[in-house]
């Protein structure tokens, strides 16, 4: 009989029914347990961090580039180029 490495509760599964690398969960503490090895049976508690706030949005406001290049034609600059 295997026991939960997290809360020491008796786990309700047969160690011969699980495969290596299988993820089971403890019915008592809801920990996710990975079967690290089947003989002997070794269970590994997985971090069940659901508060994984890796979603930090880097909202760097760019300075608005309002520098419109108004290329106004210098009209009538060719005045008086008469012979
Ligand atoms: Zn447990």
CA of 53 to the centre of ligand 1 (A): 25
CA of 49 to the centre of ligand 1 (A): 15
Kindly report the pTM of this predicted structure: 0.54
Q: How far is the CA of 3 from the centre of ligand 1 (A)?
A: 8
Residue 33: both structure tokens together: 């347990």
Q: How high is the pLDDT of residue 7?
A: 95
Separation of CA 29 and ligand 1 centre (Å): 4
Question: In angstroms, how far is the first alpha carbon of the chain from the final one?
Answer: 111
- Tell me the backbone φ, ψ of residue 73, rounded to 5 degrees: -70, 135
Q: 10 and 1 in contact (C-beta within 8 Å)?
A: yes
Q: Which residue has the tokens 């786990």?
A: 11
pLDDT at residue 16 in the model = 79
pLDDT, tens only, 44-72: 999 756 555 566 566 676 777 777 777 76
């Amino acid at each position: 009989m295997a026991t939960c490495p997290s809360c020491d509760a008796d786990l309700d599964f047969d160690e011969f029914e699980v495969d290596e690398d299988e993820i089971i969960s403890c019915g008592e503490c809801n920990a996710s347990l990975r079967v690290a090895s089947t003989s002997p049976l070794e269970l590994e508690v997985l971090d069940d961090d659901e508060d994984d706030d890796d979603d930090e949005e880097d909202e760097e406001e760019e300075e608005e580039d309002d520098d419109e290049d108004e290329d106004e034609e210098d009209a009538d600059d060719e005045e008086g180029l008469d012979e």
